Amino acid sequence: MKALLFLVCLAPLLRLGWRAFHAALGANPVQTVQFQTGLWALNLLLVTLAITPLVKLTGKSALNKYRRMLGVFSYFYALLHFLTYLVLDKFFDFHEIWKDVAKRLWITAGFSCFILLTPLALTSTDGMIRRLGKNWGLLHRLIYPAAILGVVHFLWLVKKDRTAPLEYAAALAVILGARFVLKASDFRR
Ligand code: HEM
């Protein structure tokens, strides 16, 4: 199952590679890569957050085994998303990037989300979990503001039809709401 999930998580990247190889990334290839990597970073972040309430509701604790892989893949796509922006969009122009981060609020939100996810990815190894002990759980609470900032980034960058980002906002509200209610009621199946 883990190997299968690994392939599923890798599929969006393989598909992008396939489309790039066949020159089928559309009129604006950089934007296509940015959209796809951003979407998959967010998709996997929400799925990672949904694991705990799903385990509580279904009693299937085996699902916990997949949480780390999903979280690390979310960061992997966020990193690709950032690198696309850094290398293909801004050509390492750090002055321009800094201006963007400081002036465009939707970039500020995306950048903050990425910064918050970085320590989570770096501390996802068994060794770091052991070394950090209780603090690991505290640190990993950063996933909540990170997910909110990821959705806000999406909401603010879309100017016309906000249906998709609003659907993500609704999904996040349901997941966070479920986590909160299940925790508060100490629900166990
Ligand atoms: C590292 C900082 C980040 C930068 C500089 C950045 C920048 C961008 C840019 C330039 C776009 C394309 C906007 C357009 O052309 O209209 C975009 C779209 C997007 N980004 Fe980010 N982003 C960052 C972090 C993130 C993170 C961490 C996530 C998710 C966890 C994310 C999720 C998205 C989504 C969902 C889209 C829209 C995809 C679509 O419309 O299909 N971004 N971002």
Domain count, the chain: 1
Helix (H, G, I), strand (E, B) or coil at 92: coil
60 in a structural domain: yes
What is the structure's pLDDT at 124?
96
C-alpha 21 to ligand 1 mean position (Å): 23
Could you tell me if residue 18 is inside a domain? yes
Q: Has residue 189 been placed in a domain?
A: no
Task: Name the residue range of residue 25's domain.
Answer: 2-184
Q: Which atom of ligand 1 is nearest to the CA of 147?
A: 30
pLDDT in the model for residue 146: 98
pLDDT at 37 over 80: yes
- Which residue lies with its CA nearest to atom 9 of ligand 1? 34
Residue 32's pLDDT is what? Answer: 97
Q: Quick one: pLDDT at residue 186?
A: 81
CB within 8 A of 73, min separation 6: which ones? 9, 10, 40, 44
Confidence check: pLDDT of 189 > 90 = no
Task: Give the span between the Cα atoms of 70 and 137, in whole angstroms.
Answer: 17
Question: Measured in angstroms, how far is the CA atom of residue 17 from the centroid of ligand 1?
Answer: 19
What token pair was written down for 19? 């489309």
Give me the mean pLDDT over the 52-58 stretch: 94
Please say whether the beta carbons of 77 and 12 come within 8 A: yes
How many Å is the Cα radius of gyration of the chain?
A: 17
User: Nearest 5°: phi and psi at 165?
Assistant: -65, -30
Local confidence band at 30 (pLDDT 50, 70, 90 cut-offs): very high
pTM: 0.96
Lookup: tokens for 189: 């199946």
Residue owning the nearest CA to atom 6 of ligand 1: 110
Q: How far apart are CA 132 and CA 142, in angstroms?
A: 15
Beta strands in 14-169 (DSSP E): none
Residue 35 belongs to a domain: yes
CA distance 58 to 66: 15
Q: What is the rounded (10 degree) CA torsion for 28, 25, 42, 112?
A: -40
pLDDT (average), residues 153-169: 97
Closest atom of ligand 1 relative to the 146 alpha carbon: 30
Would residue 104 count as lying in a domain? yes
